[in-house]
Structure 1
Amino acid sequence: MNGAVEVANKNIKKIIGKMMVNYKDWHEMLPFALLAYRTYVRSSTGATPYSLRMTQEFNKKVRPREFSPSDLVLRKVLHISPDSRGKFAYKYDGPFIVKEVFDRGAINLNDMDGNENALPVNVDALKKYYP
Protein backbone atom coordinates (compact mmCIF):
# COMPACT_ATOMS: atom_id res chain seq x y z
CA MET A 1 0.00 0.00 0.00
CA ASN A 2 0.98 3.57 -0.45
CA GLY A 3 1.96 5.45 2.70
CA ALA A 4 0.08 8.54 1.54
CA VAL A 5 -3.24 6.69 1.73
CA GLU A 6 -2.62 5.75 5.36
CA VAL A 7 -1.65 9.33 6.20
CA ALA A 8 -4.82 10.64 4.55
CA ASN A 9 -6.97 8.12 6.41
CA LYS A 10 -5.29 9.07 9.69
CA ASN A 11 -6.00 12.78 9.08
CA ILE A 12 -9.64 12.11 8.20
CA LYS A 13 -10.00 10.00 11.34
CA LYS A 14 -8.61 12.88 13.43
CA ILE A 15 -11.08 15.32 11.85
CA ILE A 16 -14.01 12.96 12.51
CA GLY A 17 -12.82 12.44 16.10
CA LYS A 18 -12.93 16.20 16.74
CA MET A 19 -16.41 16.51 15.23
CA MET A 20 -18.15 13.53 16.85
CA VAL A 21 -20.50 13.87 19.81
CA ASN A 22 -20.67 10.11 20.41
CA TYR A 23 -19.11 7.16 18.60
CA LYS A 24 -22.34 6.13 16.84
CA ASP A 25 -22.65 9.23 14.63
CA TRP A 26 -19.32 8.98 12.77
CA HIS A 27 -21.02 8.07 9.46
CA GLU A 28 -23.07 11.29 9.60
CA MET A 29 -19.91 13.41 10.02
CA LEU A 30 -17.92 11.66 7.27
CA PRO A 31 -19.03 13.93 4.36
CA PHE A 32 -18.20 17.05 6.39
CA ALA A 33 -14.82 15.63 7.38
CA LEU A 34 -14.02 14.80 3.75
CA LEU A 35 -14.98 18.33 2.69
CA ALA A 36 -12.75 19.78 5.40
CA TYR A 37 -9.87 17.53 4.35
CA ARG A 38 -10.22 18.41 0.64
CA THR A 39 -10.43 22.17 1.23
CA TYR A 40 -7.60 22.45 3.78
CA VAL A 41 -4.43 24.13 2.45
CA ARG A 42 -1.51 21.69 2.36
CA SER A 43 1.88 23.01 3.38
CA SER A 44 3.66 20.91 0.74
CA THR A 45 1.85 22.43 -2.26
CA GLY A 46 0.47 25.65 -0.78
CA ALA A 47 -2.96 24.83 -2.22
CA THR A 48 -5.98 22.68 -1.52
CA PRO A 49 -6.52 19.40 -3.36
CA TYR A 50 -9.90 20.75 -4.47
CA SER A 51 -8.35 23.84 -6.09
CA LEU A 52 -5.72 21.66 -7.80
CA ARG A 53 -8.50 19.41 -9.28
CA MET A 54 -10.46 22.50 -10.37
CA THR A 55 -7.36 24.05 -11.98
CA GLN A 56 -6.61 20.86 -13.88
CA GLU A 57 -10.17 20.65 -15.26
CA PHE A 58 -10.19 24.35 -16.18
CA ASN A 59 -6.88 24.07 -18.03
CA LYS A 60 -8.25 21.17 -20.11
CA LYS A 61 -10.93 23.45 -21.55
CA VAL A 62 -8.77 26.53 -22.20
CA ARG A 63 -8.09 27.14 -25.86
CA PRO A 64 -5.15 29.44 -26.57
CA ARG A 65 -5.93 32.32 -28.92
CA GLU A 66 -3.34 33.12 -31.54
CA PHE A 67 -3.48 36.45 -33.35
CA SER A 68 -1.06 37.83 -35.91
CA PRO A 69 -0.77 41.28 -37.51
CA SER A 70 -3.40 42.00 -40.19
CA ASP A 71 -5.95 39.59 -38.66
CA LEU A 72 -9.53 40.88 -38.44
CA VAL A 73 -10.99 40.78 -34.92
CA LEU A 74 -14.07 41.84 -32.99
CA ARG A 75 -13.66 43.62 -29.63
CA LYS A 76 -16.02 42.86 -26.74
CA VAL A 77 -18.06 45.85 -25.57
CA LEU A 78 -17.01 46.24 -21.95
CA HIS A 79 -18.91 49.40 -21.07
CA ILE A 80 -22.61 50.11 -20.84
CA SER A 81 -23.61 52.74 -23.36
CA PRO A 82 -26.35 55.27 -22.65
CA ASP A 83 -28.22 53.93 -25.70
CA SER A 84 -28.44 50.52 -24.07
CA ARG A 85 -30.93 48.12 -25.62
CA GLY A 86 -30.80 45.68 -22.75
CA LYS A 87 -30.17 42.13 -23.82
CA PHE A 88 -30.43 43.18 -27.48
CA ALA A 89 -27.40 45.50 -27.24
CA TYR A 90 -24.33 44.72 -29.30
CA LYS A 91 -21.88 42.43 -27.51
CA TYR A 92 -18.96 43.04 -29.90
CA ASP A 93 -17.66 46.10 -31.70
CA GLY A 94 -15.68 46.15 -34.90
CA PRO A 95 -14.18 44.71 -37.02
CA PHE A 96 -10.65 45.91 -36.21
CA ILE A 97 -7.27 45.09 -37.73
CA VAL A 98 -4.52 43.72 -35.47
CA LYS A 99 -1.55 46.08 -35.73
CA GLU A 100 0.86 44.64 -33.18
CA VAL A 101 0.89 41.65 -30.83
CA PHE A 102 2.73 41.93 -27.49
CA ASP A 103 3.76 39.31 -24.95
CA ARG A 104 1.29 38.25 -22.26
CA GLY A 105 -1.83 38.86 -24.34
CA ALA A 106 -1.85 42.57 -25.21
CA ILE A 107 -2.72 43.69 -28.75
CA ASN A 108 -2.79 47.08 -30.49
CA LEU A 109 -5.68 47.54 -32.90
CA ASN A 110 -6.45 49.78 -35.88
CA ASP A 111 -9.85 50.75 -37.23
CA MET A 112 -10.80 49.66 -40.72
CA ASP A 113 -9.92 53.24 -41.78
CA GLY A 114 -6.39 52.87 -40.40
CA ASN A 115 -6.85 54.98 -37.23
CA GLU A 116 -4.89 53.56 -34.31
CA ASN A 117 -6.59 52.92 -30.96
CA ALA A 118 -4.78 54.60 -28.06
CA LEU A 119 -4.82 51.71 -25.56
CA PRO A 120 -3.84 48.07 -26.07
CA VAL A 121 -6.56 45.45 -25.67
CA ASN A 122 -6.36 42.14 -23.81
CA VAL A 123 -6.73 38.96 -25.88
CA ASP A 124 -9.59 37.82 -23.64
CA ALA A 125 -11.76 40.64 -25.03
CA LEU A 126 -11.19 39.70 -28.70
CA LYS A 127 -12.39 37.06 -31.09
CA LYS A 128 -11.54 36.46 -34.72
CA TYR A 129 -13.78 37.95 -37.38
CA TYR A 130 -14.50 35.96 -40.51
CA PRO A 131 -16.11 38.14 -43.23
Structure 2
Amino acid sequence: MKYMLIMRATDDAKKAYKEMDFNEVITKMGQYNEQLIKAGVLLAGDGLSDDVETTGFVVDFSSTPPAVTDGPYGETHELFNGFWIIQVNSKEEAAEWASRCPLGPGSKLEVRRVTDESDFAGFEDNEYLQKEVEWRKAAENA
Protein backbone atom coordinates (compact mmCIF):
# COMPACT_ATOMS: atom_id res chain seq x y z
CA MET A 1 0.00 0.00 0.00
CA LYS A 2 1.17 3.50 -0.76
CA TYR A 3 0.66 6.31 1.70
CA MET A 4 1.32 10.02 1.37
CA LEU A 5 2.63 11.79 4.46
CA ILE A 6 1.68 15.45 4.12
CA MET A 7 3.72 17.80 6.29
CA ARG A 8 1.84 20.80 7.62
CA ALA A 9 2.94 23.56 9.94
CA THR A 10 0.98 26.12 11.92
CA ASP A 11 2.09 29.74 12.26
CA ASP A 12 3.59 28.90 15.68
CA ALA A 13 5.61 26.05 14.18
CA LYS A 14 6.84 28.30 11.37
CA LYS A 15 8.01 30.90 13.93
CA ALA A 16 9.79 28.24 16.01
CA TYR A 17 11.40 26.82 12.88
CA LYS A 18 12.97 30.19 12.03
CA GLU A 19 14.68 30.19 15.45
CA MET A 20 16.14 26.67 15.01
CA ASP A 21 19.64 25.85 13.81
CA PHE A 22 18.98 25.19 10.11
CA ASN A 23 21.92 22.79 9.86
CA GLU A 24 20.31 20.70 12.64
CA VAL A 25 16.97 20.71 10.79
CA ILE A 26 18.65 19.52 7.58
CA THR A 27 20.54 16.82 9.47
CA LYS A 28 17.47 15.47 11.26
CA MET A 29 15.38 15.39 8.08
CA GLY A 30 18.27 13.80 6.21
CA GLN A 31 18.57 11.10 8.85
CA TYR A 32 14.82 10.42 8.65
CA ASN A 33 14.96 10.24 4.84
CA GLU A 34 17.94 7.89 5.06
CA GLN A 35 15.98 5.57 7.37
CA LEU A 36 13.09 5.51 4.88
CA ILE A 37 15.48 4.77 2.01
CA LYS A 38 17.39 2.03 3.86
CA ALA A 39 14.09 0.38 4.82
CA GLY A 40 13.08 0.43 1.16
CA VAL A 41 9.79 2.25 1.78
CA LEU A 42 10.48 5.71 0.29
CA LEU A 43 9.03 6.21 -3.20
CA ALA A 44 9.14 10.02 -3.37
CA GLY A 45 9.35 13.09 -1.22
CA ASP A 46 10.13 16.77 -1.32
CA GLY A 47 9.78 20.00 0.53
CA LEU A 48 7.69 22.85 -0.80
CA SER A 49 8.62 26.50 -0.84
CA ASP A 50 6.79 28.60 1.69
CA ASP A 51 7.37 31.70 -0.44
CA VAL A 52 3.75 31.60 -1.60
CA GLU A 53 3.63 35.28 -2.49
CA THR A 54 6.16 34.93 -5.33
CA THR A 55 6.08 31.27 -6.35
CA GLY A 56 2.68 29.95 -5.33
CA PHE A 57 -0.71 30.36 -6.88
CA VAL A 58 -4.22 28.97 -6.66
CA VAL A 59 -6.40 27.64 -9.46
CA ASP A 60 -10.04 28.14 -8.45
CA PHE A 61 -12.53 26.00 -10.35
CA SER A 62 -15.57 27.95 -9.17
CA SER A 63 -15.74 29.74 -12.54
CA THR A 64 -15.33 28.89 -16.21
CA PRO A 65 -12.58 29.17 -17.16
CA PRO A 66 -10.89 28.48 -13.82
CA ALA A 67 -9.36 31.56 -12.21
CA VAL A 68 -5.63 31.60 -11.46
CA THR A 69 -4.62 33.92 -8.62
CA ASP A 70 -1.28 34.56 -6.98
CA GLY A 71 -0.64 33.45 -3.41
CA PRO A 72 -0.97 33.71 -0.57
CA TYR A 73 -3.67 31.11 -0.32
CA GLY A 74 -6.14 33.21 1.62
CA GLU A 75 -6.72 32.50 5.26
CA THR A 76 -4.54 29.56 6.15
CA HIS A 77 -3.81 28.37 9.62
CA GLU A 78 -1.53 25.64 8.36
CA LEU A 79 0.91 25.57 5.47
CA PHE A 80 1.41 22.39 3.45
CA ASN A 81 5.20 22.40 3.26
CA GLY A 82 6.37 18.96 2.18
CA PHE A 83 5.49 15.34 1.54
CA TRP A 84 6.72 11.78 1.35
CA ILE A 85 5.17 8.86 -0.52
CA ILE A 86 5.97 5.54 1.08
CA GLN A 87 5.21 1.92 0.18
CA VAL A 88 4.34 -0.15 3.25
CA ASN A 89 2.32 -3.25 4.14
CA SER A 90 -0.29 -1.67 6.41
CA LYS A 91 -1.85 1.44 7.84
CA GLU A 92 -0.08 0.63 11.11
CA GLU A 93 3.32 0.58 9.40
CA ALA A 94 2.55 3.94 7.77
CA ALA A 95 1.67 5.33 11.21
CA GLU A 96 4.94 3.98 12.61
CA TRP A 97 7.00 5.73 9.93
CA ALA A 98 5.01 8.94 10.28
CA SER A 99 5.57 8.91 14.05
CA ARG A 100 9.34 8.82 13.54
CA CYS A 101 9.42 12.08 11.57
CA PRO A 102 11.50 14.72 13.40
CA LEU A 103 8.86 17.44 13.55
CA GLY A 104 8.16 19.64 16.54
CA PRO A 105 5.13 21.16 18.25
CA GLY A 106 2.72 22.86 15.86
CA SER A 107 3.64 20.54 13.01
CA LYS A 108 1.46 17.71 11.78
CA LEU A 109 1.67 14.89 9.29
CA GLU A 110 -1.57 14.02 7.56
CA VAL A 111 -1.33 10.43 6.34
CA ARG A 112 -3.48 9.42 3.37
CA ARG A 113 -3.55 6.18 1.39
CA VAL A 114 -2.73 6.67 -2.28
CA THR A 115 -5.41 5.11 -4.48
CA ASP A 116 -4.61 2.02 -6.51
CA GLU A 117 -6.40 -0.21 -9.01
CA SER A 118 -8.55 -1.78 -6.27
CA ASP A 119 -10.30 1.59 -5.88
CA PHE A 120 -11.61 1.26 -9.44
CA ALA A 121 -12.95 -2.30 -9.30
CA GLY A 122 -15.77 -2.74 -11.80
CA PHE A 123 -14.33 -0.11 -14.15
CA GLU A 124 -11.42 -2.11 -15.57
CA ASP A 125 -12.77 -1.73 -19.11
CA ASN A 126 -12.49 2.07 -18.95
CA GLU A 127 -10.19 3.25 -21.73
CA TYR A 128 -8.27 5.61 -19.47
CA LEU A 129 -7.77 3.11 -16.68
CA GLN A 130 -6.25 0.79 -19.29
CA LYS A 131 -4.06 3.63 -20.57
CA GLU A 132 -2.99 4.37 -16.99
CA VAL A 133 -1.51 0.87 -16.74
CA GLU A 134 0.52 1.50 -19.90
CA TRP A 135 1.59 4.98 -18.77
CA ARG A 136 2.90 3.59 -15.49
CA LYS A 137 4.82 0.84 -17.30
CA ALA A 138 6.37 3.43 -19.63
CA ALA A 139 7.35 5.65 -16.70
CA GLU A 140 9.01 2.72 -14.93
CA ASN A 141 11.06 1.93 -18.03
CA ALA A 142 12.06 5.55 -18.73
- 1 or 2, which has the higher strand percentage? 2
TM-score norm. by structure 1 comes to: 0.20
Task: Answer with 1 or 2: which has the greater Rg.
Answer: 1
User: TM-score, normalized by length of structure 2?
Assistant: 0.19
**Greater relative contact order (Cα < 8 A, sep 6+):** 2
